[in-house]
Each structure stands twice: as C-alpha cells, then as structure tokens.
Amino acid sequence: MERVAIIGVGQTKYERRKKGETFSDMVYEVTVKALEDAGLTIQDIDNVVTVSNDFWDGRTISSMAVQDACGSRHKDISTVEGDGLFGAFYGAMRILSGSFSTTLVVAHNKCSQSRMNLITNAMFDPIYSRSLGLDAITSAAMQARAYMDTFGVTEEQCARVSVKNHRNAMDNPLAQLPMEITVKHVMESRVLSDPIKLLDASPITDGAAAVILANERAAQKARGRPVWIRGMGHCCDAYHLGDRDLARSPALRKAAQKAYSMAGILDPKAELQTIELYDAFSYMELMWLEGLGICEEGGAGRLTDSGFTAPDGPLPVNRSGGCLSAHPVVVAGLTRLIEASLQVRNDAGARQVPDCRTALAHGINGPCGQSHCVMVVGR
Amino acid sequence: MADWIGQTEDIVYSGRIKVPYEWSVGETGSRFLVALRDEKKILGTFCGRCQMVFVPPRKVCGRCFNADMEWRELGPQGTLITYTVPRYKESIHPLSHPFGYGIILLDGATTGLVHLLGGFDGGGLQTGIRVEAVFREQRKGDILDIMYFKPV
C-alpha cells in the first residue's frame, strides 16, 4: 500500500488572546511555516483540508474565510469541522485515494473571541440537553466523577498530570502556560465544577497549526527526512452521555487497536517512545492512557504516580505540555501530531525525548471524548 | 516587514448572533414531552432485541436498527450514576446555586438521563444515592417540565 508522510509542520505561538490577528493571519503564518519546513512552495500543494468550527468562528462555512490564507484558490479544498487530527486523518485518506500527492491540512481557532461555556453548550441536543445549561466543564466534571468513583482514582492523582504537563511546557517556547506548580496548588485552585478545579482545566487559547502530507514520490522532493504515518484509526461512541459508560473509553480502545494493528505494534507500552494525547482536563490523560492500552483500566493514576509518564520516565506523555498548557479547540489534535512528528524527527529541542523512533498522537471530538482519533508516526 | 506593522491600534469588532429556530421534536419525542406535561410521566422506549430501555426515547434502536420499539413508563425515582455541582455562574444555567448536574438511571431504564439536581443545600450528593423527579407547576412540554431531581 502507498505510504503517507508528514513532510512539513507549522505552529503559531499559543496565546490567551491574539488581539491583533485575524483567522487568516494565523492560517497564513502556519501555512508559510509548514511550506518552509518542507522546502516547498504553495504551487506544490495540490489539495487543502481546512479545520475550523462555525460556532467558534461566528460564521457559517468558516473554512471559506481562510481560503486566500491557505492558498486554496483554484485548488481542491475540503473541510473538517472537528478536531485537527481528524483533519490529518482525512488528508491522509485523500492521498491514499490516489487522487492527490501533497495535502496541506490547516486548523485555526481563536477561543478568546467568544464565550466557551455558550459555544460548548451548543454541542448538546437542543431538545433534551441544551436547555439544562450543560457545557464542556460540567459534562467533563460528570465524566471525571464517574471515572474516579469507578476506579478509586484520586484528585491528587489527576493533579499530578497537571503539575507534570505545565512543567513540561517550560521546555516548549510555543506553549501558553509553562508553570512550575505543585499538587497543592492544583488542589487549592478554585473549584469550577467538582471534582474539576481551575488547574485541572485547559486554558482559553488562540492559535493555528498546519501539516503537509505527501505520498512517497512527493515526499522525496521534501527538504527534510519524512515522518511516516505508520498506523491510524478512529472510532466514535454514542452521542447521548447517558448511553455511554463515561468511566471507560471503548471508542478509544477500538481506534487505538486499528492504529496499532496497521503499524504492527503489539505492545504499545514498550514500542512507543512518547505519546501526545488530548488532555483537555487532567483526568483525561489518565483515561486516555487506559484507552490506549498503556495500562489496565483504573491503573493510570498509579502509573503516573510511579513517574512512568514523566519526562525522564520510560514513556513521556505530553512532553510539549499538552492541552493543559495550550488548548486551541479543534487545532489541538493537529498540535499533538506536530509535536509527535518533531519528536520522531529529533527536532523537539529542549523537550526532545531521547532516541524517539515511534510516537503516538491522539485527538478527540464531541463531549467527554465521544470520538477518538489515533495516529502512530515513525521514522 | 513593513515599518507600520506593530504600530497600528488593534480594532476589535463586537457582534452577536441571535437566530430563532423551530426544531421539530418528532412523534416519538413529542409523545415523551406530552406525557411529561400532561401526566407527569417519564417515558422511554424498549428494544426487545437488545433488552435496552432508552431515555430520552428513541424511535429506532441505534445499536441493532430495530424499529419495533415498545413504550415503557420509567421512574419517577432513580439512582444517581454521576454528578457535579458547578461553582460558576453562567447565563445558560436554568437554576440558581446551589444546583447540580447528574446522570440518573431511572427505575426501569438501562440508559441514563442527564438532568439537573436541586432541592439540596450544596452537599450530600453521592454516587449511588436515590433521587426523584420534581415537576414544574406550569408545564410547557419541554425537558424543563422536570424542574430537577432531588435526593430522596
């Protein structure tokens, strides 16, 4: 089968508010960075996938508003309204179809420009759930409680994820919230919706990210050494929260199994050198590690306590700082893929994981991780 | 880079999107909401193949595509599967603090109903406790005809 490579990546700095920049300004910045990284020009791109969300952008067909900025005029352009890793998944599928050789995938969001609680309230069913006033925080808080009650995971164990990832962000010049904090800081931070506290939650972030994907032939034209997508999978759970077992993530388990089987990975805990996963809240890192099969259900708190996922541990997780340190919604999964690719390229600077040959990127979409996308990348 | 970059005042344009919608609830959902409004009853639908009782009711079982669903009356009591008590104020919140959100496994159901928790002083909630639906006096045929679930 044809292989798909990641030949160029670009990210903005992630910030609380990019007051002087439009969506297009950000998209242009990362498109140019990704082209420079790949050693290509915009003429080398034969199709574009944009990733954006109409509610966040405050307009319909938000993808079209960035057309000039991503150079898609008179080209084949398609769009994903969801997380950016799903955009990369779709971009890779377009190459595997045989119709395209070089795909630009670009995602943008400015979460500062509207109200997170109101926007995320709109993901719930207008007839049965929306008028209850649920949002991303209160729905996640119910999942956190279900997970912690089912397996006896403690708030301190979740807090340790936040401490680790904010510390990791100190090695990432693009991160929004590099911080040296302690478990005590997290535990004493303001309760948003119990058991979730301010420092268990990811921030409001503006930013954009882009990757250039290529088939084997086009990848040879690229300047640097390509990073290969070795496996990918995605899977979706039920929409109604009450239909799901919120303490577990069977959809992630299936998505990961597909990606592992495609990549020929039998023991992910031993064969991956780093993981970049979607930690919108601290408890999510623990749940997703279990869904990814890194440990048994309910065991990720103890795994984290042991230092297994620490930067100097056997399997560093979210070495970039993760979503807890910068969370541009819909961009963040693509950020995970870029960070995983930089690790495999040995280009991750101060946050480089030693001898990183194979890395995993993970993205989610929908309330409480309804849908999961997993991508395994390697040299 | 041009010399004017970074020298300009950053203008921010404030707007608001407010668009009315008329969402059809459908026959299955309408029967559920009419029963809430007129009889203070919570209905679900049962799939005999999957042995699942769904609430809110489904016209078709999403698991096996069975369209031959049977109506079941559920609750009004149930067991709290999970919950949270928000500490921030937001315009979309229908109740004043303290209130909570919970997923309630109604007696007779196999899926949980996401709803509000009220009638408590801020503490005392725990996974596994029994809760009961409290109905609104003036019911209108929407999900908030159940005002909230309160601990029994």
Q: With an 8 Å Cβ cutoff, is B129 touching chain A?
A: no
Residues in chain A: 379
Which residues of B are less than 8 Å from A195 in CB distance?
84
Q: Which positions in chain A touch B94 (Cβ < 8 Å)? A: 131-133
Which is it for strands A102-110 and A47-51: parallel, antiparallel or unpaired? parallel
Predicted confidence at residue A150, as pLDDT, reads 98
Contact of A17 with chain B, judged by CB distance below 8 Å, is answered with no
pLDDT tens for residues B26-74? 999 999 999 999 999 999 999 999 999 999 999 999 999 999 999 999 9
Q: Report the predicted TM-score, pTM, of the whole model to 2 decimal places.
A: 0.97
Instruction: Identify whether the C-beta of residue A357 lies closer than 8 Å to the C-beta of residue A277.
Output: no
Compute the distance between CA of residue B41 and CA of residue B141 in angstroms, rounded to an integer.
Answer: 12
> How is A106-172 classified by DSSP, letter by letter?
EEEEEGGGS-HHHHHHTTS-TTTTGGGT--HHHHHHHHHHHHHHHHT--HHHHHHHHHHHHHHGGG-
Q: Which of residues 72-101 of B touch A (CB under 8 A)?
A: 81-88, 90-94, 101
Q: Least CB-CB distance to B84: which of A126, A132, A142?
A: A142
Beta carbons of B88 and A240 less than 8 Å apart: no
Q: How many domains does chain A have?
A: 1
Burial class (CB in 10 A: 0-12, 13-18, 19+), B13: exposed
B13 to chain A: closest CA residue: A113
Q: What is the DSSP letter of B62?
A: T
From residue A372, give the alpha-carbon distance in Å to each of A112, A143, B53. 25, 16, 26
Q: pLDDT band for position B4 (50/70/90)?
A: confident
Q: What is the pLDDT of residue A348?
A: 98
Nearest CA in chain B to A21: B10
Tokens 């401490």 -> residue:
A163
Asked whether A208 and B76 are in contact (CB, 8 A), the reply is no
Side chain identity, residue B37: R
What are the structure tokens assigned to A138, written together? 């209160």
Interchain contact A236–B (C-beta under 8 A)? no
Check: CB of residue B46 under 8 Å from CB of residue B72: yes
Task: Give the model's confidence band at B1: pLDDT under 50 very low, under 70 low, under 90 confident, else very high.
Answer: low
pLDDT computed for residue A231 by the predictor:
98
State the Cα–Cα distance between residues A352 and A345, nearest whole angstrom.
Answer: 10
Distance from first CA to last CA of chain B, Å, rounded?
68
**Paired tokens of B35:** 């029963």
Share of chain B above pLDDT 90, in %: 92
Q: What distance in Å separates the CA atoms of residue A235 and residue A221, rounded to the nearest whole number?
A: 33
Rounded Cα–Cα distance for residues B105 and A15 (Å): 41
- A129 with B143: Cβ contact below 8 A: yes
Instruction: State how far residue A136 is from chain B, nearest Cα, in angstroms.
Output: 12
CATH number at residue A63: 3.40.47.10
Mean pLDDT in residue range B15-36: 97
Q: Assess A114–B contact: CB distance below 8 Å, yes or no.
A: no
Q: Which residues of B touch A135 (CB under 8 A)?
A: 90, 92
- Whether residue A16 lies inside any domain: the answer is yes
Q: Does residue A146 form part of some domain?
A: no
ipTM for the predicted complex comes to 0.96
Pairs across A and B, CB distance < 8 A: 108
Domain that holds residue A59: 4-115+205-219
- The pLDDT averaged over each successive group of 10 residues in chain A (379 residues) is 94 97 97 98 97 96 91 94 97 97 98 97 97 98 98 98 98 98 98 98 98 97 94 96 97 98 98 98 98 98 98 98 98 98 98 98 97 97
Both tokens assigned to B73: 């009356």
Say if CB A239 and CB A123 are below 8 A apart: no
A13 touching chain B per CB within 8 A: no
Is A255 a member of any domain? Answer: no
* Count of beta carbons in the 10 Å neighbourhood of residue A150: 17
In a domain, A371, yes or no: no
Q: Which residue of A has its CA nearest to B123?
A: A194
> Which residue is listed with tokens 């209160």?
A138
Write out chain B residues lying below 8 Å of A127, CB-based: 23, 25, 29, 56, 142-143
Contact predicate A272/A360, CB 8 Å:
yes
Strands of chain A (E only): list them.
Answer: 4-11, 47-51, 76-80, 102-110, 191-193, 196-197, 206-215, 227-236, 274-276, 358-365, 371-378
Give pLDDT tens digits for B92-126: 999 999 999 999 999 999 999 999 999 998 778 99
3-state helix, strand, coil in chain A (%, to 5): 40, 20, 40
**Nearest partner of B85 among B124, B49, B57, judged by Cα:** B124
Q: Do B101 and A20 touch (CB under 8 A)?
A: no
Planar angle of CA A169, A171, A172, nearest 5 degrees: 65
In chain B, where the domains are located = 26-151
Looking at the complex, report in whole angstroms how far the Cα of residue B111 sits from the nearest Cα belonging to chain A: 5
